């Protein structure tokens, strides 16, 4: 491969559109511009595309097409669930979630607390796992909703959401999962689960940005976040984003092919990468290594580096990866996920996330395996004198203010 070829290892932030998906979308920017709700024959192509996408996505999720509501993405889907669950308030205004959720769950939950609601943010252990006993104990008579992500966007750690959903069903509490990082990466069969709501986003599995879906179990009451025309069976107002929905459907179909045919070489690339980095770089550790993880994500902590400086150097080598979540790039704030896993350590500031996708190649893996050890070594050389002076500063000693 050429020295200046881009190596995109930030597939948890967004993914490359599959060319097949683009093909599927194009007619709806051109000749088939009809409104799917119109009654004439010309609109039937658009309507058919939306129906087909619903079928394709239902196959990926193992649910009924009627249980799918198209939205503008993962963020909207998450907001819609939290809004809907609290509308009914049969039990009360208490929500249980985890401290490591994406901001698209954390922020609406924090907003709830300002509107008279009450939220429990469950911590995780150093591997990123939740304690199911602790979760069960957090559910109170006034708990309306439990929301736990399926796979973590920073570490790839998988929560046992099927088990958690069963627990919630027994306690008659609604259960939602943000599955944005799980959909298309691991098999999902909602039919066999007690999950009430599930969020996903097309651009995390080679579909277009700005479109996603919410699964609402057919027996679960739902109050729309966006009221308007009766689109999506009255569950989400607004003229359907036909081209994007068609793209989402195709992306779901492609993800199914890759999952079922075992074509996913993503997992073996990630494993080879991790093994090589652990062998060649001292003071490197994998965040969440002790937990079940999705096959594409690798979150590393490197002793003696600052993630922001590492990103700059890697960028010069045309390697795209991230420090913590993409939404926080530019801010100096360390990842809330890694802090939750290790509150007393500084791992959050020394971490890099590499997330693979099916368009990555073995040659790219070879190249990053060669470059990363050099970059880390260089950063440590630069940082060494700084660290020595830092040790003499009183605020960094054990008697300094608690973090
Ligand atoms: C990316 C992401 C979201 C947000 O999805 P958008 O479609 O970008 O709004 C939500 N949750 C998780 C876990 C994500 O990774």
**pLDDT digit string, tens, across residues 367-396:** 999 999 999 999 999 877 655 555 544 443
Q: Is 96 exposed, middle or buried (0-12, 13-18, 19+ CB in 10 A)?
A: buried
CATH class of 19-255: alpha beta
CA of 70 to the centre of ligand 1 (A): 15
- Strand 297-302 with 284-286, pairing: antiparallel
Average pLDDT, stretch 115-132? Answer: 96
Can you tell me which atom of ligand 1 is nearest the CA of 78? 10
327 belongs to the catalytic site: yes
| Confidence grade of residue 74 (pLDDT, cut at 50, 70, 90) | very high
Q: Is the pLDDT of residue 327 over 80?
A: no
Ligand 1 neighbourhood includes 353 CB (under 6 angstroms)? no
Q: Is the CB of 154 under 6 A from ligand 1?
A: no
Q: Which residue intervals of the chain bear CATH 3.90.1150.10?
A: 7-14+260-384
Q: How confident is the model at residue 334 (pLDDT cuts 50, 70, 90)?
A: confident
Q: Is 117 in the pocket of ligand 1 (CB under 6 A)?
A: no
As a whole number, the mean pLDDT across the chain is 92
* Higher-scoring residue by pLDDT: 86, 179: 179
Counting DSSP H helices and E strands in the chain, the numbers are 12, 12
Residue ranges of the chain that CATH labels 3.40.640.10:
19-255
Confidence (pLDDT) at 92: 87
Asked if pLDDT for residue 280 goes beyond 90, the answer is yes
Average pLDDT over residues 278-302: 97
pLDDT at residue 261 in the model: 77
Reported as a single tens digit per residue, the pLDDT across 212-245 is 999 999 999 999 999 999 999 999 999 999 999 9
Q: What percent of the chain has pLDDT over 90?
A: 85
Query: What are the Cα distances from residue 107, in Å, to 79, 103, 113, 117, 159?
Result: 9, 5, 10, 13, 20
The DSSP letter of residue 321 is -
Please state the φ and ψ torsions of residue 148, each to the nearest 5 degrees: -135, 130
Cβ neighbors of 208 (< 8 A, separation 6 or more) are 17, 21, 25, 202, 243, 244, 247, 248, 251
Q: Which of 204, 205, 212, 324 to mutate to test the pocket of ligand 1 (most atoms within 8 A of CB)?
A: 204
Structure tokens at 16: 């490359």
Distance 321 CA to ligand 1 centre (A): 17
**Residue 326 confidence class, pLDDT cut points 50, 70, 90:** very low
Q: Does the beta carbon of 60 lie inside 6 Å of ligand 1?
A: no
Distance between CA 216 and CA 373 in Å, rounded?
A: 46
Instruction: Give 163 Cα–ligand 1 centroid separation in angstroms.
Output: 23
Give the separation between CA 101 and CA 123, rounded to whole angstroms. 10
Average pLDDT on 284-304 reads 97
Q: Is the pLDDT of residue 24 over 80?
A: yes
Contacts of 107 (CB under 8 A, 6+ apart): none
Ligand 1 atom with least separation from CA of 326 = 1
Residue to probe by mutation, ligand 1, list 12, 14, 147, 178, most atoms within 8 Å of CB? 178
Catalytic residue chosen out of the listed positions 109, 320, 321, 327:
327
Contact criterion met (CB below 8 Å) for 37 and 46: no
Span from the CA of 329 to the centroid of ligand 1 (angstroms): 15
Residue 105 Cα, ligand 1 centroid: separation in angstroms? 9
In contact, 102 and 153? CB cutoff 8 Å: yes
pLDDT score for 332: 57
Which ligand 1 atom lies nearest to the CA of residue 149? 13
Q: How does DSSP assign 190-230, residue by residue?
A: GGGS---EEEEEGGGTTS-TT-EEEEE-TTS----SS-SSS
- With cut-offs at 50, 70 and 90, classify the pLDDT of residue 347: confident
The CA 182 to ligand 1 mean position distance, Å, reads: 11
* Ligand 1 neighbour 104 (Cβ under 6 A): yes
Please state which architecture CATH assigns to domain 7-14+260-384.
Alpha-Beta Complex (3.90)
pLDDT band at 329 (very low <50, low <70, confident <90, very high): low
Q: Give the residue, by CA position, lying nearest to ligand 1 atom 15.
A: 153
Distance CA 265, CA 280 (A): 23
**Which residues have C-beta within 8 Å of that of residue 143, sequence separation ≥ 6?**
91, 92, 94, 95, 96, 171, 173
Distance CA 164, CA 141 (A): 17
Cβ(357) – ligand 1 distance below 6 Å = no
119 lines ligand 1 (CB under 6 A): no
Region for 318 from its dihedrals, namely left if φ exceeds 0, alpha if ψ lies in -120 to 50, beta otherwise: left
Q: What is the mean pLDDT of residues 30-43?
A: 96
pLDDT of residue 388: 54
Lowest mean pLDDT among 95-109, 163-177, 292-306, 313-327: 313-327
Give burial (CB, 10 Å; 0-12/13-18/19+) of 97: buried
Of 289, 272, 10, nearest in space to 155 by CA = 289
Q: Can you give the pLDDT at residue 396?
A: 39
CA distance 105 to 340: 16
Strands (E), 221-328: 284-286, 297-302, 319-320
For 145-182, write each residue's pLDDT tens digit: 999 999 999 999 999 999 999 999 999 999 999 999 99
């Amino acid at each position: 491969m050429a020295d200046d070829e881009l190596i995109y290892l930030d597939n948890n932030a967004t993914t490359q559109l599959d060319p097949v998906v683009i093909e599927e979308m194009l007619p709806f920017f051109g000749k088939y511009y009809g409104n799917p709700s119109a009654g004439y024959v010309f609109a039937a192509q658009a309507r058919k595309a939306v129906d087909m996408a619903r079928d394709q996505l239902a196959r990926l999720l193992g649910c009924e097409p009627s249980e799918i509501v198209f939205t503008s993405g993962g963020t909207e889907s998450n907001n819609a669930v939290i809004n809907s669950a609290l509308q009914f308030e049969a039990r009360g205004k208490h929500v249980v979630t985890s401290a490591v959720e994406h901001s698209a769950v954390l922020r609406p939950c924090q907003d709830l607390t300002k509107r008279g609601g009450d939220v429990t943010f469950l911590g995780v252990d150093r591997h990123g796992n939740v304690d199911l006993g602790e979760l069960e104990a957090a559910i109170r008579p006034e708990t309306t909703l439990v929301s736990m992500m399926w796979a973590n966007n920073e570490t790839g750690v998988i929560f046992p959401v099927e088990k958690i959903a069963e627990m919630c069903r027994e306690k008659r509490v609604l259960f939602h999962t943000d599955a944005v990082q799980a959909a298309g990466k691991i098999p999902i069969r909602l039919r066999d689960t007690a999950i009430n709501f599930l969020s996903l986003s097309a651009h995390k599995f080679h579909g277009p940005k700005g479109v996603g879906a919410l699964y609402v179990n057919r027996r679960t009451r739902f109050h729309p976040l966006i009221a308007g025309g009766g689109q999506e069976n009255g569950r989400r107002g607004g003229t359907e984003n036909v081209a994007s929905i068609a793209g989402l459907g195709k992306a779901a179909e492609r993800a199914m092919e890759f999952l079922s045919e075992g074509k996913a070489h993503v997992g073996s690339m990630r494993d080879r990468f991790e093994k090589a980095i652990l062998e060649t770089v001292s003071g490197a550790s994998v965040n969440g290594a002790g937990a079940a993880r999705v096959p594409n994500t690798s979150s590393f902590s490197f002793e003696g580096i600052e993630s922001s400086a590492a990103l700059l150097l890697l960028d010069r080598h045309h390697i795209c990866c991230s420090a913590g979540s993409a939404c926080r790039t530019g801010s100096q704030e360390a990842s809330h996920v890694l802090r939750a896993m290790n509150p007393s350590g500084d791992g959050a500031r020394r971490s890099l996330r590499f997330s693979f996708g099916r368009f990555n190649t073995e040659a790219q893996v070879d190249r990053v395996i060669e470059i990363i050890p050099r970059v880390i070594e260089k950063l440590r050389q630069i940082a060494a004198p700084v660290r020595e002076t830092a040790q003499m500063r009183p605020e960094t000693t054990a008697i300094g203010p608690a973090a």
